[in-house]
Amino acid sequence: MDRDVPTTPSLTIKRRLNATPAEVFEAWTDPKLLMQWFGPENVETQEVSVDARVGGGFRAVMLEDTGERHEVSGIYAEVVANEKLVFSWSWITTPERVSQVTVTFKPDGAGTILTLLHEQLFDEQAVKGHTHGWTGSLAKLEALFA
């Protein structure tokens, strides 16, 4: 690796879910299901739109229990049904900070191993905030299939 190229922070989270890869993939691509688990415990997801195809986009509007409104959106770069999603990630408040999320769904017996990789984050503070958000979201996703 070239030492002159700066590396950007990233995070990886793995979860085993009690659902098939097809069911978990649907939870990521069906707006009605996404509304049920997207966002950490102190956040209510109010609006979701999903066009899960290469070049299609997603958008989510969330309201924190403090009253703070958050809006995130992105464009799908890769969509492999029941296996993988790759999309850009950009908050409306910091549109210049575009990062990338890769989610893979691997069969594991009757369940699924979900691996989430969020790359190209702005700084360690962004890693901390996104780790909190994704950890809380994935806990709610796990509960959806419990």
Number of domains the chain is built from: 1
Token code pair at residue 41: 């415990």
CATH value at residue 40? 3.30.530.20
Q: CB pairs under 8 A, 24+ apart, for 134-138?
A: 134/11, 134/13, 135/13, 135/40, 136/39, 136/40, 136/41, 136/42, 136/43, 137/37, 137/38, 137/39, 137/40, 138/13, 138/15, 138/114
pLDDT tens profile 91-133: 999 999 999 999 999 999 999 999 999 999 999 999 999 999 9
Please indicate, yes or no, if residue 5 is contained in any of the structural domains: no
- Domain interval for residue 18: 11-144
Please indicate, yes or no, if residue 132 is contained in any of the structural domains: yes
pLDDT tens profile 6-30: 678 999 999 999 999 999 999 999 9
